[in-house]
Chains A and B, each alone.
Chain A
Amino acid sequence: MTPLETGLFGNFTAVHLAYLFKSIGWTLVLSLLAFALGAVGGFGVMLARISPRRWLRGLAMVYIEGIQGIPLLILLFIVYYGLSLYGYSLPALVAAGLAMMLYVSAYLGDIWRGCIDAMPKPQWEAAECLALTRWQTLRLVIVPQALRLSLPPTVGFLVQIIKMTSLASVIGFVELTRAGQVINNTIFQPFLIFSLVGAFYFVLCYPLSRWSEAMERKLNVAHR
């Protein structure tokens, strides 16, 4: 039966809507988990990427290039199957969180390294003249300034993270997309359900996108 025959809403009821709403919470939990873990990892990758030690810089570069070359879907499978084969049976949330941590840390590390690089060289030299150690220079001079620069791309990447969580559905984690699939399997109203799911994602992502763009415009004006 086509939706034209059953009516637009068909068997879709308030119970299904409530189920979708509840699953938004899990999308947010996974997004925050991925962002928090990825930010910690990404900071480490960024530090390694600007390290004075050559091998550490090289290692970070290989890590970034490698992870950025692998689809998140494959990373998810590797972490999910890998951990279970070695005897750790983890909840899907943890497996998805770990896989996304790897992925997010490579991208955030790369983004933040760009922000650090954008700091004028004399800032480093001046800090050296003041006898600040490398760590002090980073902590007190460079990072606070780079933070302002990094905010728009970081918020922009947060949008990517929220969208990425939809992939956790393939290892059975019930977030928004998975919830949509589950409902669709019982009442088969794919057009309505996935439009709704898409609309929910849009409501989550669009304000962040606009915020990121607004901040970027503000920075560009300041730099003009």
Chain B
Amino acid sequence: MNRYSLDFSPLLGYWDVFLHGTLLTLQMTALAVVVGVAVGVLVAFGKRGRNRALAWACTVYIEIVRNTPFLVQIFLFYFGLASFGVRMPTFTAAVLAMIINIAAYAAEIIRAGLEAVPRGQIEAAECLGLSRWRIGWHVMLQPSIEKVYPALTGQFLLMMQASAMASQISAQELTAIANTVQSDTFRSLETYLVVAALYIVLSLFIKGLSALLGRAVFRRSRVVNQAQRPGRRAASVATAGGAA
């Protein structure tokens, strides 16, 4: 058995390529997450809505996406559409496939949140004469998103990792770039170790960002959390009053 020794030095010259790939992956994920969640919200409301046909269509969509591999979805979307004459750049195809994928997962998560909204609260809002749209936004959607926020961000992380599969249709992102670098340098193991580290950094970054975002957006839960922390109670109630 020959002893192989790791040598990362040939990769040093590629740092800008790696950086570029990391940014592409981040960009891809951000696009897919933002659009995907918006679509997911619509699908979640569609599934709960009174229109039977629409609700059924939403259920079928969610179940099909959640019970088939993302890789097959990408192939079907990219190669399948191409065979019908619909051609698009690989980056677009990858992002669209990611949107279709994450919208289904987000819909299911948000629907669980909507289901947890007490019936009485919706009735109370109706009694107060709030319009349907305002009930949907203030009474149903906002508290549910707050409740399912951790599950949602967990899904974003999984999506970021799933974006690696976009390399299989040669869309340019971190993994595809790693494939190129390793065939240039013949340092496959080192390349993938570096990329693994970059993915870990990316996921820590997304985790941190979503925690910060959550704290900024969901002021109510922050105030409640602080108030519940023993010892700080008086101080935090005072600040909460000030903030309100």
Q: How many residues of B contact A (CB 8 A)?
A: 45
A166 to B84, CA, bound (A): 24
A66 to B200, CA, bound (A): 6
**Measured between C-beta atoms, what is the minimum distance from B123 to chain A in Å?**
21
Of the candidate stretches A14-22, A53-61, A140-148, A185-193, the one touching chain B is A185-193
Of the candidate stretches A33-41, A43-51, A198-206, the one touching chain B is A198-206
**Measured between C-beta atoms, what is the minimum distance from A180 to chain B in Å?**
7
Cβ proximity bits A173-216 to B, threshold 8 Å, 1 near / 0 not: 00001001100100011110011011001100110010000000
User: Which chain B residues border A184 with CB–CB below 8 Å?
Assistant: 79
Is A222's beta carbon under 8 Å from chain B?
Answer: no
Contact B196 A85 (CB under 8 A): no
Give A contacts to B, CB under 8 Å.
Answer: 2-4, 65-66, 68-75, 77-78, 81-82, 85-88, 159, 163-164, 166-167, 169-170, 177, 180-181, 184, 188-191, 194-195, 197-198, 201-202, 205-206, 209
User: Which chain A residues border B195 with CB–CB below 8 Å?
Assistant: 74
Contact B2 A87 (CB under 8 A): yes
Contact A86 B85 (CB under 8 A): no
**Measured between C-beta atoms, what is the minimum distance from A167 to chain B in Å?**
6
A66 to B195, CA, bound (A): 13
Q: Which B59-87 residues have C-beta < 8 A from chain A?
A: 63-64, 66-73, 75-76, 79-85
Is B199's beta carbon under 8 Å from chain A?
Answer: yes
Contact of A190 among B69, B75, B164 (CB under 8 A): B75
Is B236's beta carbon under 8 Å from chain A?
Answer: no
Given A2-B85, A70-B199, A194-B79, also A166-B71 (CB < 8 A) = yes
Given A69-B203, A74-B195, also A190-B82 (CB < 8 A) = yes
Is B42's beta carbon under 8 Å from chain A?
Answer: no
User: Which chain A residues border B69 with CB–CB below 8 Å?
Assistant: 163-164, 166-167, 177, 198, 201
User: What would 19 A/B residue contacts be, using CB atoms closer than 8 Å?
Assistant: A2-B85, A3-B83, A69-B204, A71-B163, A71-B199, A72-B161, A74-B196, A78-B192, A85-B4, A86-B3, A87-B1, A166-B72, A177-B72, A180-B72, A190-B83, A191-B76, A201-B68, A206-B63, A209-B63
User: Which chain A residues border B165 with CB–CB below 8 Å?
Assistant: 71, 73, 167
A105 to B203, CA, bound (A): 19
Contact B188 A170 (CB under 8 A): no
Q: Which B127-168 residues have C-beta < 8 A from chain A?
A: 157, 161-165, 167-168
**Measured between C-beta atoms, what is the minimum distance from A200 to chain B in Å?**
9
| Closest B residue, CB atoms, query A204 | B67
Is B189's beta carbon under 8 Å from chain A?
Answer: yes
Contact B199 A202 (CB under 8 A): no
Is B175's beta carbon under 8 Å from chain A?
Answer: yes
A197 to B80, CA, bound (A): 12
User: Which chain A residues border B66 with CB–CB below 8 Å?
Assistant: 209
Is B23's beta carbon under 8 Å from chain A?
Answer: no
